[in-house]
Amino acid sequence: MRLTVFWERMREQFGSAYVDSFARDHVMSELGGRTVVQALEQGVSAKEVWAAVRRSLDLHD
């Protein structure tokens, strides 16, 4: 998954106003106690991060 697609999906789920806050502030056990931004910066693929977000929030595509 390309990062552009990942961020589009995140904006669709959280809205433009909230997506940045969620990605930078919400620590997720599914990402090893990291935020979305931290996981991406540390090399976790966008596909894996998106799957973790979906699982943690029980989202469906």
**pLDDT tens-place string over residues 3-51:** 999 999 999 999 999 999 999 999 999 999 999 999 999 999 999 999 9
User: What would you measure as the largest C-alpha separation in the chain, in angstroms?
Assistant: 26
Q: Is the pLDDT of residue 61 over 90?
A: no
Given a contact cutoff of 8 angstroms between Cβ atoms, the answer to whether 5 and 46 are in contact is yes
Q: Residue 58: its pLDDT value, please?
A: 84
Contact between 48 and 20 under an 8 Å Cβ cutoff? The reply is: no
Of 30, 40, 29, residue with least CA distance to 2 = 40
pTM for this structure?
0.90
* pLDDT for the residue 57: 86
The partner residues of 28 in beta bridges, in order of sequence, read: 34
Residue 52 sits at φ, ψ, to 5 deg, of -65, -40
